[in-house]
Amino acid sequence: MLGFAPSSISHHQATPNTKFSFFTMSSLTTSTSLEMFTGIVEEMGDVVSLETKDDMILWDGSKGSGTEMVIKGDVVMDGAYLGCSISVNGVCLTATELDFDSNIFKVGLAPETLRKTNLGTYTANSKKQVNLERASEIGGRNSGHFVQGHVDNIGTIIERWVDENSLFFKVSFPYEFMRYVVPKGFIAIDGTSLTVCDVKSEGPNGENWFTFMLVEYTQKKIIIPTKQIGDTVNIEVDVLGKYSEQAWEAFVPKMEALEQKVQDLEAKVARLEGSSGSANSKDITYGDVVPKSFSSSNDPDLSNRAKSTPRRKDTEGWVRSEQEFINADRDNADMNPKRDINNKGTEWVRKKQTFYDTNY
């Protein structure tokens, strides 16, 4: 997985007089993008500033505090508009202000974003860069995988090494998310679509880590190679794994309920089969031939009736494959007053089964 693709730059010709220009969406080219990413980083941007303000105007006119980050990027400014989504180190953020002269944009960082990601460590003084990607276009190619930009948690680099021209990283990750990390599966690291190599998950109190590697080309196009042991990365697991798990969890109870019904029905049939014998129903293996102990030959009355019944020659008891169908045209219909004599079909009704002319 490369994690990077070059893109041509075609800047807007807008020339705002102020530092940040507040364009309306209608004043720019209509966007055809979705709020989804591919994990193919378009460029590395510079963090200009990260500051917390106490005088931010909220929706109801009141003032509140919040954190804002200003980033410089060239490629992602092409086609940008107020309210567009830009992936910053794998975090889907909304562009709130744009300056096309300086190619910088501003985004807001919610408290949840600061808790779940490493963006709070990216100050201007740190001179760190961030991976940037615009939202994917409808109908465009996806050389990575479906990345939402919704970081699950941060991972910590615990080891790194070189294997010829490949750069390997081992990252520790909270156990609660490890079930979504599988060998050769997708994973987004700081917004880069990568392939998982090895996985080890030993539970809440054990080791929980995975490895990934970067090919030579990707190493020069993203920020991950600049990170050392102890540094953190933003991680988003494959969302398809989450959807599959949720669908399976909804399906399992229904399967268990169906299996229980089947077991209950089999138990009832076993009790019926064993009603004329002395064998224990627990000794029955469902689907097997009815044991001899269930034979009506052990019951003199049933045996005598069976001998006088020309329609059956078998006296081994009730055999499932020989269940009788109700037919209202039979001569002995009056033997069972509960039967529907108007029924001209042969529909088999369990509660009206005939057991050697004895209705149960």
| Long-range contacts, 116-121 (Cβ 8 Å, 24+) | 116/151, 116/152, 116/153, 116/154, 117/89, 117/90, 117/91, 117/151, 117/154, 117/234, 118/89, 118/154, 118/232, 118/233, 118/234, 119/50, 119/69, 119/88, 119/89, 119/91, 119/234, 120/50, 120/67, 121/232
Measured CA to CA, the distance from residue 32 to residue 27 in angstroms comes to: 15
> How far separated are the first and last CA of the chain, in Å rounded?
68
Measured CA to CA, the distance from residue 234 to residue 227 in angstroms comes to: 12
> What six digits make up the tokens of 228?
């050392």
Task: Look up 136 and say whether it is catalytic.
Answer: no
pTM metric for this prediction: 0.63
Considering 7, 94, 281, 303, which one is annotated as catalytic?
94
Considering 33, 102, 143, 195, which one is annotated as catalytic?
195
Task: Please tell me what DSSP assigns to residue 345.
Answer: S
Q: Please choose, from the candidates 281, 291, 297, 173, the residue with its C-alpha nearest in 3D space to the C-alpha of residue 236.
A: 173
Q: Please choose, from the candidates 47, 44, 72, the residue with its C-alpha nearest in 3D space to the C-alpha of residue 122.
A: 47
Task: Look up 92 and say whether it is catalytic.
Answer: yes
Instruction: Determine the pLDDT at residue 279.
Output: 46
Measured CA to CA, the distance from residue 97 to residue 336 in angstroms comes to: 86
Counting residues of the chain whose pLDDT is more than 70, the rounded percentage is 65
Q: What is the pLDDT of residues 250-271, one digit of tens each?
A: 888 889 999 999 999 999 998 8
Considering 80, 84, 92, 135, which one is annotated as catalytic?
92
Considering 14, 110, 247, 328, which one is annotated as catalytic?
110
Contact yes or no for 298/276 (Cβ under 8 A): yes
Highest mean pLDDT among 56-60, 142-146, 222-226: 222-226
Task: Look up 150 and say whether it is catalytic.
Answer: yes
Task: Look up 38 and say whether it is catalytic.
Answer: no
Residue 164, amino acid: E
Considering 37, 169, 173, 294, which one is annotated as catalytic?
37
Q: What is the pLDDT of residues 188-247, one digit of tens each?
A: 999 999 999 999 999 999 999 999 999 999 999 999 999 999 999 999 998 888 888 888
Residue with tokens 């009736």: 305
Confidence of residue 5 (pLDDT cuts 50, 70, 90): very low
Residue 3 gets the label, from left (phi > 0), alpha (psi -120 to 50) or beta, of left
Task: Look up 124 and say whether it is catalytic.
Answer: no
Considering 150, 172, 211, 297, which one is annotated as catalytic?
150
Task: Look up 37 and say whether it is catalytic.
Answer: yes
Measured CA to CA, the distance from residue 96 to residue 82 in angstroms comes to: 6
Task: Look up 12 and say whether it is catalytic.
Answer: no
